């Protein structure tokens, strides 16, 4: 009976945490680390997975989809954020692939640029294009995709100044 109490306390705390927001298995394991031993925490995590309350694949997909569609993040930034949240690299990559099948990085970037240009003017010279490329790389987009999308969406004379410089 005394062994049951720590598991119950860990399970209760996990329920409280999961009621607030979704967690990856690794994040939840870290949050519960001080409450009981490794075996008890693993037991609770397995039980949560059996109840479909903890699923790294779904968590990674929902996280990636939200960050890309709603916040305008690129796939590189999303991947690194998932790994920091203790999602395995394989699951993070497969989640990005699932989201990529639905739209693709070029469409994500075009959507972000539409929102971005609502409050800013489009680049008018080489320096402004360079700043925009740096900004988009920091948001996690691949440089090849950035250049491809910008080349198609900007006036030819502005783009020529960038290519020539």
Residue 31 has pLDDT above 50, yes or no: yes
Q: Residue 160 and residue 121: Cα distance in Å, rounded? A: 18
Better-scored residue on pLDDT, 73 or 156: 73
Whether residues 109 and 155 share a domain: the answer is: yes
Question: What pLDDT is recorded for position 81?
Answer: 97
Whether residues 89 and 118 share a domain: the answer is: no
Residue 103 has pLDDT above 90, yes or no: no
Whether residues 98 and 140 share a domain: the answer is: no
Nearest to 86 by CA among 117, 45, 37: 45
Question: Where in the sequence is the domain holding 64, given as residue range(s)?
Answer: 56-102
Question: pLDDT digits over 136-148, tens only?
Answer: 999 999 999 999 9
**Average pLDDT rounded to a whole number, residues 59-68:** 95
Whether residues 42 and 60 share a domain: the answer is: no
Whether residues 44 and 60 share a domain: the answer is: no
Whether residues 120 and 154 share a domain: the answer is: yes
Q: Which token pair is 60? A: 């990674």
Whether residues 118 and 155 share a domain: the answer is: yes
Whether residues 110 and 156 share a domain: the answer is: yes
Whether residues 157 and 111 share a domain: the answer is: yes
Whether residues 95 and 68 share a domain: the answer is: yes
Residue 165 has pLDDT above 60, yes or no: no
For tokens 């990085």, name the residue.
105
Q: Residue 1 and residue 108: Cα distance in Å, rounded? A: 54
Residue 164 has pLDDT above 70, yes or no: no
Whether residues 33 and 83 share a domain: the answer is: no
Whether residues 73 and 43 share a domain: the answer is: no
On the 0-12 / 13-18 / 19+ scale of CB atoms within 10 A, 20 is exposed
Confidence at 4, pLDDT banded by 50, 70, 90: low
**Average pLDDT rounded to a whole number, residues 108-127:** 88
Confidence at 122, pLDDT banded by 50, 70, 90: confident
Q: How many distinct structural domains can be found in the chain?
A: 3
Residue 149 has pLDDT above 70, yes or no: yes
């Amino acid at each position: 009976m005394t062994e049951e109490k720590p598991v119950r306390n860990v399970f209760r705390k996990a329920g409280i945490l999961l009621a607030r927001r979704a967690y990856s298995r690794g994040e939840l394991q870290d949050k519960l680390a001080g409450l009981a031993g490794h075996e008890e925490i693993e037991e609770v995590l397995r039980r949560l997975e059996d109840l479909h309350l903890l699923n790294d694949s779904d968590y990674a997909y929902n996280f990636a989809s939200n960050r890309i569609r709603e916040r305008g993040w690129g796939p590189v930034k999303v991947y690194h954020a998932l790994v920091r949240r203790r999602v395995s690299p394989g699951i993070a990559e497969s989640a990005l692939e699932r989201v990529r099948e639905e739209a693709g990085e070029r469409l994500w970037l075009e959507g972000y640029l539409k929102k971005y240009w609502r409050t800013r003017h489009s680049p008018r010279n080489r320096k402004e294009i360079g700043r925009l490329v740096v900004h988009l790389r920091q948001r996690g987009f691949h440089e090849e995709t950035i250049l491809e999308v910008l080349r198609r969406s900007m006036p030819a004379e502005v783009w020529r100044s960038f290519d020539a410089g």
